Amino acid sequence: LLHLSPVVARAYASLCLISAANKRHVEATWFREQALSSCKALHEVGLLAYTLTAAAVHEAGQGMWGPAVENLTQAVRMSEELGDNFQREESLSQMAHLEFYRGHFGTSRTLYEQASGSAAERGDTKMVNRCQA
């Protein structure tokens, strides 16, 4: 990968989200793959958790529930191992959102409560409000 760095890998993940939001799915898929392969090549576990969450958002938007759940589950696990509570909450809230749209309302609520409770302990009112929206 040309010009491989954590900044470039994060940019690929962000461009995946931007492309997906603009319904440019071919580009979003390309950016997703570049981001994932960059993180793995760099051995950036924290960045990989962010990238897996971004990939899952794109996949969920395409109705690819299985890969989205798998990526979010991995992101939560990695974040827990790293002690990165913000990324864990981000991944949990995205999973809650996904479960809501899948019609799993009880699971969605539980996930939002987990993310919100953790954020409240850290004093992160922005994340708490997001989970209660």
Q: CB-side exposure of 5: number of CA atoms within 13 Å?
A: 4
The pTM is what? 0.88
Q: Count the Cβ atoms, other than its own, within 10 Å of residue 66.
A: 8
Q: Say if domain 6-132 classifies as CATH 3.40.50.460.
A: no
DSSP, res 103:
T
d(C-alpha 120, C-alpha 99), whole Å? 22
d(C-alpha 133, C-alpha 127), whole Å? 10
Rounded mean pLDDT of 6-30?
90
Percent share of the chain, pLDDT over 70: 98
Rounded mean pLDDT of 42-68?
92
pLDDT at 81: 96
DSSP, res 31:
H
DSSP, res 102:
T
Q: Is the pLDDT of residue 1 over 60?
A: no
Which two three-digit tokens encode residue 4? 């491989």
Q: What is the DSSP string of 41-100?
A: HHT-HHHHHHHHHHHHHHHHHTT-HHHHHHHHHHHHHHHHHHT-HHHHHHHHHHHHHHHH
Question: Helix (H, G, I), strand (E, B), or coil: what is residue 3?
Answer: coil
Over residues 58-98, the pLDDT tens digits come to 999 889 999 999 999 999 999 999 999 999 999 999 999 99
pLDDT at 2: 60
Residue 46 — pLDDT band, cuts 50, 70, 90?
confident
